Amino acid sequence: MDLDTVQKQLVDSFAEQENLIGTLYKLYAKRYPEYKMFWAEMANEEYQHASMIRRIVKSDTANIFRFSQGELRSSNLDSSIKFINNLIIEFKDNLDFPITRAVSIALHIEKALWERKIFQYFDGDSDEVKRIMNLLNLEQEIHISKLNKFAEPFHKINP
């Protein structure tokens, strides 16, 4: 397996991670009908992020795609994927899962992604790759602020 293959597998895991977050939000949308619109939109955006990530590889026609820092390991991604998968199982099993907890989990996941600066690790000389990276960074910030705004009334009820 050459380096490119390893790198591209990391991208696949990233995309999978976004898809899983989308799955979780979709479950939220079903469980909490009064907030259905919010979570359905969040879920769709996660699916869009996953396809944006997949597009990075496709845009990398020169095949020079790299992660610019060595801190990213597939084991980190694997444990993050496992964590989200477990959350999905837990959520499905617990029909009394409070919305406040659902929101704080979503914030935790999105902030963790942001703090790990995931979308700043991509490196490539294609303008399209850079454009997608920057867009993903921005989208991540938007998701955190959307969630913070959504969470506000819950803090007021339950400070």
Judged by the rule CB under 5 A, the positions of this chain that interact with Fe ion are 110, 143
In the bound state with Fe ion, the residue whose beta carbon lies nearer, of 60 and 110, is 110
In the bound state with Fe ion, the residue whose beta carbon lies nearer, of 20 and 72, is 20
In whole angstroms, the minimum distance from the beta carbon of 73 to Fe ion comes to 22
In whole angstroms, the minimum distance from the beta carbon of 11 to Fe ion comes to 17
Which residue has the CB atom at the shortest distance from Fe ion?
A: 143
In the bound state with Fe ion, the residue whose beta carbon lies nearer, of 114 and 126, is 114
In whole angstroms, the minimum distance from the beta carbon of 107 to Fe ion comes to 10
The DSSP code for 69 is -
In whole angstroms, the minimum distance from the beta carbon of 110 to Fe ion comes to 5
Element at 67 (helix H, strand E): strand 66-67
In the bound state with Fe ion, the residue whose beta carbon lies nearer, of 6 and 112, is 112
Which CB contacts under 8 angstroms, 24+ apart, belong to 70-76?
Answer: 71/121, 72/10, 72/118, 72/121, 74/6, 74/9, 74/10, 74/13, 76/116
- The DSSP bridge pattern shows strands 66-67 and 122-123 to be antiparallel
Q: How far apart are CA 116 and CA 135, in angstroms?
A: 16
